[in-house]
Amino acid sequence: MTNAPIFVTRPVLPPLSEMMPFLERIWSSRILSNNGPLLQQFEANLASYLGVQHLSVVCNASLGLVLSLRHFGITGEVITSPFSFVATAHAIRWAGAQPVFADVDPNTLNLDPETVEAQITPQTQAIMAVHCYGIPCDTEGLAAVARRNGLKLIYDAAHAFGVRKGGAPLVAEGDMSVISFHATKVFHSFEGGAIISPDRQTKVAIDRLMNYGIVDEVTVSEVGLNTKMSELHAAVGLAMLPRIDEIIDARDRVANRYWQSLSQIPGLHCLCPPGQPGHNSYAFPVRIGQDYPISRDELYTQLRLEGIFARRYFHPLISDLPMYSGLPSTAEGRLPRARAAGDEILCLPLYPDLAEADQDRIIGIVSRPC
Ligand SMILES: *Cc1c(COP(=O)(O)O)cnc(C)c1O
């Protein structure tokens, strides 16, 4: 008998019965989109859960990032991380701006404020930092660089749902933050996301920008986009939200079991120790060092042969993709710490209902590779 494949993640769904009341409301009201009652409820519940005041739900985080840059009129250079999902840099290009890559901090794998500052030119207008794996950026350091140089600071908080830093919501940092509710993230609505604004006026401007720039029946004030979320997606979000604490607890338990079994293995470094207050156990990245018997890619392949699909997040680096690899900021030798991380990190499967027996198979291979 062969084992069923194990993927790096697997979404949780609410029981269908809990979807039905929402579906009945949609079918009887026939309001399907355009800031409908479920969307408004979802926004209010999310803002309250996350502890923020000014939140706009959007159809995905990629477009949320594009809107954030458009809102601030950013068309110059944006300093960003090469160690992220490709959407981060693509959003900068879609906004009509130019990504400039800076190296990461070797411990957090997030943008290092010093390397950011070294990349600033007269064309620089913004920093787009990523809380990779939900590990908080050096928000004070980045804010100081932004302030000193008159730059906007936007966070790609796609991984950071519910993360708190020093007791405060991480997504309240910076001039704007964008969370993703994609199926593979900690919290999902199939597809979706949210933009966190610093004040009411900014939220109103974002809400207009995401609805074609429409002010009222006869007034369109700017070239807006359509990044609205439908009532159907909002219904999923509403049914998921009451389960999120349970989901994060279950993720923590899986992360904890990995930690118990893997944290003492020579040459293997676990990047996200469990039990950090406010963390969301989005991923379980391990870094394969010199003392480990085989390379990261050999471990990846060995797991694959056993039907275990761990992922090399983030390899290749965004800066190595063909549309970015020619930029001056990506020249040979420029991003050594991001490059090392891209070569050495493997994310192990982690989702709330990963069976212990399956996790034990993964642990067995990672702790005794051959
Ligand atoms: C998933 C992800 C995105 C894109 O989110 P979508 O909601 O799928 O558009 C952006 N940045 C990072 C770091 C991500 O992991």
Q: What HEC string does 80-122 produce?
A: ECCCCCCHHHHHHHHCCCEEEECCECCCCCCECHHHHHHCCCC
Predicted pLDDT of residue 128: 99
- Count, in order, helices (H) and strands (E) of the chain: 12, 16
Question: In 272-350, at which residue ranges do the beta strands (DSSP E only) sit?
Answer: 284-288, 308-309, 345-348
What spacing in Å lies between the alpha carbon of 192 and ligand 1's midpoint? 10
What spacing in Å lies between the alpha carbon of 62 and ligand 1's midpoint? 6
Quick check: CB of 109 below 6 Å from ligand 1? no
Mutate to test the pocket of ligand 1, among 180, 282, 314, 317 (most ligand atoms within 8 A of CB): 180
Contacts of 316 (CB under 8 A, 6+ apart): 342
What spacing in Å lies between the alpha carbon of 246 and ligand 1's midpoint? 23
With contact defined as beta carbons under 8 Å apart, do 156 and 88 qualify? yes
Mutate to test the pocket of ligand 1, among 88, 187, 236 (most ligand atoms within 8 A of CB): 88
Predicted pLDDT of residue 2: 64
Predicted pLDDT of residue 189: 98
Structure tokens at 170: 């991480």
Predicted pLDDT of residue 277: 87
Which segments in the chain show pLDDT lower than 70?
1-2
Work out the number of other CB atoms within 10 angstroms of the CB of residue 84: 27
Per DSSP bridges, beta strands 152-156 and 176-180 are: parallel
CA-CA distance, 264 to 268, in Å (whole number)?
8
Work out the number of other CB atoms within 10 angstroms of the CB of residue 272: 21
What spacing in Å lies between the alpha carbon of 24 and ligand 1's midpoint? 31
Instruction: Give me the residues paired with residue 7 across strands.
Output: 309
Predicted pLDDT of residue 275: 84
pTM of the model: 0.98
Quick check: CB of 130 below 6 Å from ligand 1? yes
Map out the domains of the chain with their CATH numbers.
16-242 (3.40.640.10), 244-367 (3.90.1150.10)
CA-CA distance, 27 to 103, in Å (whole number)?
50
Nearest to 311 by CA among 193, 184, 163, 186: 184
CA-CA distance, 193 to 186, in Å (whole number)?
12
Give SS3 for 214: strand
With contact defined as beta carbons under 8 Å apart, do 245 and 269 qualify? no
Quick check: CB of 188 below 6 Å from ligand 1? no
| Bond from prior residue into 316 cis (ω within 30 degrees of 0) | yes
User: On the CB side of 51, how many CA atoms lie within 13 Å of its CA?
Assistant: 13
Structure tokens at 283: 């991923």
Quick check: CB of 87 below 6 Å from ligand 1? yes
